[in-house]
Structure formats: structure tokens, C-alpha cells
């Protein structure tokens, strides 16, 4: 089976940079949803605690329960709990869901500032506060999400202006309804690094912490380091004769006699099939033919082969983004810290 190696020094390096940019680690909430972007949920929660982080963001209640011992605060983005959990806060994504939260539940209200995905409309703020008070929920924060912070466009400024108006109205409503100590947050990884002076209450950092943040080059270089690398073990080696076709569909034909080895990493493990016959490893080893379910062939005899050490590189071959590469990695692959 392939193995994933997590570079602890790289992760700590990234967190240090993020903490300085955010004006303190106490403002940093690490996004650990979807198996910590493929890095391993509990493993990364443990490293985050060691790095000094006390806040986390997850997608589900199940994820939150697995890591609750590592953090003081956990924001759950998508689930509604059956009972009150003292350490966790839950996201209100629309008006209809408010009545489903248990009395006394800690909640954060998501407001749409331009993403047009989840979150109430700004015109619904008054109604939302009224319902939250009526169902006796504990509103702690109001937040939003950027849709294009990594690109050179005016949309980031436009959404910030929208959120400024949201904060103004929410602050007034908070005083009216008895939620006077509201927190506000909007920044994701890309948004954080566009701020010249970060002044929000919290930043939700995902891809930057894992070292794979991609932004328009005009924003300058950010010294983040990929924390994840993947190695595969050799299954077999054979001589591929000249003009012999290899693998499913025979899309690779040998130009000359060559040694080819099969390695235990395929599309069932997260090796995106679009890379077939179109990928070079960081050490310039060529992938040959179509990726199979459980294995893939390379022009190599190495016992253990480095497949990638930067998800951005393999993402370009797959014509996708680093996020998809990382979250596609099978949970069954062993992950170890180096």
C-alpha cells in the first residue's frame, strides 16, 4: 500500500507564517473538514494542538467529536446537533433550519455577502435574529465566505464592503436582542493574505496551512511549504518490448525496449485518472499508460517511488486544483509524520 508522509516542520512553518499574518495564533481556526484536506483528521488535529492552535472548523458533527479533545472551540459548518455540545458551535445556513436547533445551542449565523451558496440574505437579518431569540439559541458570531479572494479582481473588495454593512446591521440587532458580544469573521486562506492589517476576530485557514495556497502572481510569493508527500511501493517489474502497448486501452506504446514497474497507487486510492499517460514525478519519472484502480505503471525500477510532494504539481497534470487532489486521497492510506 502507498504511504502518505506529513512533514511536521513544513506544517509548523506554515502555521507560524499564518499566525503572524493574523496577528496571533489565537485568531487562527484550522479547517480540518474532509479528513483535514486528505492529510488525516486526528493526526493533523494533534499537530495543530502541538503548534498552539486552539480553534478548528469541520464539516460534520462526527468530525467534531473525533477531535474535540484537541481544541477549545470547534465550528461545525453543515450539521444540526440533537443535543447541546458545550465545546462546539453550529452554523445557521438558512432561516428554515433555525427551528431545528436544540434550545441553548451555540450557533453562528452565516450571511451571504456574494457567494450565493449558503447563508441568509442581508435582508433576512432581522427575521433571523428574531427566530434565534425565539428558539432560545446562543448566537455567538456572524460570518460570511469569499468566492474569489485568490484572484486579481474587485470582488474581494466588493464582498468586504457587503460584510461591513452586514456587521453594522448585525451589531445593532445584537444589542437589541441581547447578543452584545458578537464575533465576526470572513477570511479564508487567500483573503487573509490580501489583508495589509488583519482586524477580524478569526480567520478560517485551510489550504494555506497545508502549504498549497495558489493566488494570482501579482500578490507576490508567500513562503508556504507543502506538508504532504505520497510514496508508492513497487509491485512488479517487467521488460516492455518495443511497440508493445501497456495497460487498459493500450494508450502507451513503447518506443524501445524498456523496464517498467507497477506501483501500488491507483484511482481507488486517489490517483486522478486524468493524469494517465500525462504525468512526471518530482524526480522526472514518467507515468506510462492508463492509471488502474489499484496500481499504475512508471518507467522506473525503484523499490519505493515518490509520486508527488506538492499537490499543486499533480493538480496541473489532472487539470484540477490541489484541493481535489488532496481530498481524493483514500483514508485507508497509512499516514505518518516525518
Task: Decide if 242 is catalytic.
Answer: no
Task: Decide if 177 is catalytic.
Answer: no
The one catalytic residue in 33, 55, 110, 167 is 33
Query: What b/e string do you get for 156-186 counting C-beta neighbours within 10 Å, with b at 16 or more?
Result: beebbebbeebbebbeebbeeeebeebebbb
All three cell numbers of 259, joined, read: 523496464
CA terminus-to-terminus distance, the chain? 18
Q: Give the helix, strand, coil percentages of the chain, each rounded to 5.
A: 35, 25, 45
Among residues 199, 203, 196, 106, the alpha carbon closest in space to that of 146 is found at: 203
Neighbours of 89 (CB within 10 A): 20
The one catalytic residue in 164, 248, 259, 303 is 248
Helices assigned H by DSSP within the chain: 8-21, 33-37, 41-51, 61-67, 125-134, 155-177, 189-192, 311-318, 322-327
Rounded Cα–Cα distance for residues 257 and 260 (Å): 10
What is the dihedral sign for C-alpha 329, 6, 41, 11?
A: negative
Among residues 210, 206, 209, 227, the alpha carbon closest in space to that of 7 is found at: 227
Residues pairing with 29 in the sheet: 55, 204
Rounded Cα–Cα distance for residues 79 and 29 (Å): 18
CA dist list (Å): 24 to 45, 52, 154, 336: 19, 10, 28, 28
Rounded Cα–Cα distance for residues 170 and 143 (Å): 10
Q: CA-based Rg of the chain, rounded to a whole angstrom?
A: 23
Q: Cite the active site residues.
A: 33, 248
Amino acid at each position: 500500500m502507498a504511504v502518505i508522509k506529513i512533514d511536521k516542520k513544513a506544517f509548523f512553518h506554515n502555521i507560524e507564517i499564518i499566525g503572524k499574518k493574523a496577528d496571533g495564533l489565537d485568531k487562527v481556526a484550522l479547517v480540518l473538514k474532509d479528513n483535514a484536506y486528505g492529510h488525516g483528521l486526528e493526526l493533523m488535529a494533534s499537530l495543530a494542538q502541538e503548534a498552539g492552535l486552539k480553534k478548528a472548523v469541520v464539516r460534520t458533527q462526527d468530525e467534531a467529536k473525533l477531535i474535540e479533545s484537541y481544541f477549545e472551540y470547534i465550528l461545525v459548518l453543515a450539521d444540526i446537533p440533537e443535543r447541546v455540545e458545550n465545546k462546539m458551535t453550529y452554523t445557521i445556513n438558512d432561516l428554515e433550519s433555525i427551528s431545528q436547533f436544540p434550545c441553548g445551542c451555540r450557533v453562528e449565523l452565516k450571511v451571504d455577502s456574494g457567494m450565493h451558496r449558503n447563508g441568509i440574505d442581508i435582508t433576512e437579518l432581522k427575521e433571523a435574529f428574531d427566530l434565534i431569540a425565539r428558539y432560545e439559541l446562543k448566537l455567538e458570531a456572524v460570518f460570511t465566505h469569499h468566492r474569489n479572494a485568490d484572484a486579481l479582481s474587485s470582488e474581494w473588495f466588493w464582498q468586504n464592503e457587503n460584510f461591513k454593512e452586514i456587521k453594522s446591521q448585525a451589531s445593532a440587532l445584537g444589542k437589541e436582542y441581547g447578543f452584545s458580544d458578537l464575533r465576526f469573521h470572513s477570511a479564508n486562506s487567500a483573503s487573509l493574505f490580501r489583508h495589509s492589517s488583519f482586524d477580524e476576530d478569526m480567520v478560517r485557514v485551510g489550504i494555506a496551512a497545508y502549504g498549497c495556497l495558489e493566488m494570482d502572481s501579482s500578490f507576490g510569493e508567500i513562503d508556504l511549504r507543502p506538508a504532504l508527500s505520497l510514496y508508492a511501493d513497487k509491485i512488479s517489474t517487467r521488460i516492455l518490448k518495443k511497440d508493445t502497448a501497456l495497460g487498459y486501452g493500450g494508450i502507451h506504446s513503447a518506443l524501445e525496449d524498456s523496464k517498467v514497474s507497477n506501483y501500488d497507487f491507483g484511482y481507488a486510492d486517489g490517483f486522478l485518472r486524468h493524469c494517465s499517460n500525462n504525468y512526471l514525478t518530482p524526480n522526472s519519472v514518467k507515468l506510462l499508460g492508463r492509471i488502474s484502480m489499484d496500481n499504475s505503471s512508471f518507467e522506473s525500477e525503484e523499490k519505493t517511488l515518490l509520486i508527488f510532494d506538492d499537490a499543486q504539481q499533480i493538480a496541473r497534470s489532472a487539470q484540477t486544483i490541489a484541493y481535489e487532489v488532496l481530498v481524493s486521497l483514500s483514508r485507508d492510506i497509512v499516514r505518518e509524520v516525518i
